[in-house]
Amino acid sequence: MSATWFRGPIAWAIAAIVVLLGALSFFVVVPETEQAVILRMRKPIATINAYQPGEQFGRTGAGVVFRIPFFDQVIMIDKRVLDIELTNQPVLSTDQLRLEVDAYARFRVVDPLRMYQTAISEKRVGEQLTPLFASALRNELGKRTFAALLSPERGQVMDNIQNALQKLASQYGVQIVDVRIKHADLPSGSPLDSAYARMRTARGQEAATIRAQGQKDATIIRANASAQAAKIYADSFGKDPEFYNFFRAMKSYQITFLNQAQDKGQTQIILSPNNSYLQQFINPR
């Protein structure tokens, strides 16, 4: 009976699991997304799968690593591109404009051992880099005018911040991949309101200019038309000014004397017998 018991399934399973765990504790899997520092009796002996620029997946150091249980300690450090964000950093530009800046930096741990020695974990690296990033940002933006941020110089600004931050980050075994300014905005309150007021007046100016331009165009159009009409008259009537005088006078008499509209006066005519119209009447030839 006793022998059966020891051959029992539960015991076997337990034994197998214990053996398996024991065997597995000799190995550690380092995935592609991590890099590892191996400490033997608290002394670093190797780094596994450390970042190499331009390496190809499948040919990296990722994979199974041998270790001695209890003596070796494997520290995993993220190998991917990580980020730190700065939000609503108040910045004063050289032209005394207050700005609120959001920026981010992307970084990668390239020297896992140094990073472990200086900061233990990648999370703490981020925490330690954040104030450095903020001061690098403020230093650089404090040297610029607000307008420089809104120009192609913006790229130069970001490069300078990246370089300044890189110098500090190298102490942590960290490579700054990229620094970018996300927002550079006027803080809400009076700066924003005055910007709005400026926009409003600028639009008011534009509207007034447009109206005045329209008025000007209209006057020019009228003047041109009058001039052209005068030219047409002159061209036509200039052929015989004397006849024009006669013809226009006739037309004028008709209009003046025959207009019987309400507000015009009635016409009385007193003729002298010497009138040329009555010439035949008085003295027929």
Partner 1 sequence: MAIRFGRPAWASNTPNEPPKSPWGGGGNGAGDDASGGGKGAGDGKGGSGGGGPRNPWSLPPGGPRRGAGGGGGGFDDLFRRARRGGGFPPGIPFGPQVWWLIAGGLLLLWIALTTVHSIGTQERGVVTTFGRYSTTLEPGWSVTFPAPISSVTVINIQNVREENFPDGSGENLMITGDQNIVDLAFQVRWDISNAPDFAFQIKDPKATVRAVAESAMRAAVSRASLNETIGSGRTTIEAQVQLQMQQILDEYNSGIHVLGVAISKAAAPQQVDEAFKDVTAAQQDAQGLRNTANAYAQQVLANAEGDAAEFDKIYEQYKLAPEVTRRRIYYETMENVLSRTDKVIVEAPGVTPYLPLPAVKRREAEPDIEVQGKRPGATK
Within 140-169, the residues that bind partner 1 by CB under 8 A are 146-147, 149-152, 154-155
Rounded-to-integer distance, Cα 165 and Cα 177, Å? 11
Member of 39, 74, 78, 130 binding partner 1 (CB under 8 A): 78
Exposed/middle/buried for residue 238 (C-beta within 10 Å: 0-12, 13-18, 19+): exposed
As given in the structure block, the two tokens for residue 14 are 């337990």
Rounded-to-integer distance, Cα 240 and Cα 244, Å? 6
Smallest distance from partner 1 to CB 103, Å:
8
**Binding of partner 1 at residue 31 (CB under 8 A)?**
yes
Closer CB to partner 1, residue 45 or residue 227?
227
Closer CB to partner 1, residue 146 or residue 172?
146
**Binding of partner 1 at residue 26 (CB under 8 A)?**
no
Member of 70, 268, 283, 285 binding partner 1 (CB under 8 A): 268
What residues between 195 and 234 interact with partner 1 by CB under 8 A? 195-196, 198-200, 202-204, 206-208, 210-211, 213-215, 217-219, 221-222, 224-226, 228-230, 232-233
Member of 73, 182, 190, 194 binding partner 1 (CB under 8 A): 182
Member of 14, 15, 18, 33 binding partner 1 (CB under 8 A): 33
Q: How many CB atoms lie within 10 A of CB 121?
A: 14
**Residue among 33, 133, 139 nearest 83 (CA):** 133
How many residues bind to partner 1 according to rule CB under 8 A? 111
Please report which helix (H) or strand (E) contains residue 129, including its range: helix 122-141
Closer CB to partner 1, residue 2 or residue 96?
2
Closer CB to partner 1, residue 98 or residue 154?
154
Beta bridge partners of 102: 183
Rounded-to-integer distance, Cα 277 and Cα 273, Å? 9
Rounded-to-integer distance, Cα 90 and Cα 98, Å? 7
Contact in structure between 75 and 100 (CB atoms under 8 Å): no
Smallest distance from partner 1 to CB 17, Å:
12
As given in the structure block, the two tokens for residue 203 are 């639009």
From residue 79 to residue 108, the character string flagging contacts with partner 1 as x (rule: CB under 8 A) and all else as - is: xxxxx-x------------------x-x--
* Distance in Å from the first CA to the final CA of the chain: 174
